[in-house]
Structure 1
Amino acid sequence: MAGEFSRTSRIGDQLQKELASLIQFEVKDPRLGFVTINEVRVAKDLGYADVYYTVLGIDEDPKKLADNQVALDSAKSFLRHRLSKEVKLRVMPHLRFHYDQSVVNGARMSALIDDAIRKDQSSDSSEE
């Protein structure tokens, strides 16, 4: 029970909410698309926070994904400074941004499953 609601997971949830708001309303970088923060994992010593994000609509364009990564990396210190004002912690973790492939992989797997079901149904109907 205690492991489910650890301090680092609660801090990660709070950082996720604050980062989503800050990126949406205060980061004014033209390279940055519509970023969604999927998860924030905070190290036990609060030294680092790994921020996993996706960008709406540009999952297939590697140049735009790279531009978004550069924009987020350049906004790290600004975001960390703003987070320190919003979230009361003795030590504010350093932010590390990672593009989250799980949404793209999930969509690909779903398409493969749908295709397999369609092929299975068409082979069943052709046998009759």
Structure 2
Amino acid sequence: MANPHRQEKLGELIAAELSELMRTRVKDPRVGFASITHVEVSGDLRHAKVMVSVMGTEEEQAATMQGLKNASGFLRHELAERITLRYMPDLVFKLDHSIAEGARILALINKVNQEDSSQPTSSTNEEA
């Protein structure tokens, strides 16, 4: 079993390299506004779950995920040339909704703050 610190560092390295590869080498038009948010590497360093955030509609997100799935062999090969490991982990891409969820929650907080500031405050004379 690998050292948890090594798993984390390898995940960060894979995320950085995949981001660079997606930006420069992947020519699939389906892979649009996608960014790597996190990479989880298994204890035996044989599997990596790549969390991807995609901006766009659900159809664009599905197309991007299909494009990444189709390009996983190419990306794994390119990673093997850039990172020296005994075994290059298998890449599994998962859609990450955390950025969209965070934006939704922030919008709700802003809406509540606007509603609170637009309501007139009651003075102490009215209460007495």
Pair in the same fold by TM > 0.5: yes
The offset of 1:126, in angstroms, is: 5.4
Unaligned runs of 5+ in 1: none
Once the two structures are superposed, the pairs formed by residues 1-128 of structure 1 within 5 Å of their partners are 6-56=5-55, 58=56, 61-123=57-119, 125=120, 127=122
Q: 2 CA distance for matches of 1:77 and 1:103?
A: 27
Paired residues of 1:24 and 1:35 also in contact (CA < 8 A): no
Contact 1:36 1:53 in 2 (8 A): yes
Aligned residues: 121
- Percent sequence identity is 36
Q: CA deviation at 1:55?
A: 2.3
Normalised by the size of structure 1, how large is the TM-score?
0.88
SS of equivalent residue, structure 1 residue 41: strand
Q: Which amino acid aligns with 1:117?
A: N
Mean Cα deviation higher: 44-53 or 103-112: 44-53
- SS at 1:6's partner residue? helix
Amino acid at match of 1:8: Q
Deviation at 1:127, TM superposition (A): 3.6
Structure 2: any 5+ residue segments left out of the alignment? 124-128
CA-to-partner distance for each residue in 1:31-61, whole Å, 9 max, x for gaps? 11022111111011112111111124x1xx1
Q: Report the TM-score, using the length of structure 2 for normalisation.
A: 0.88
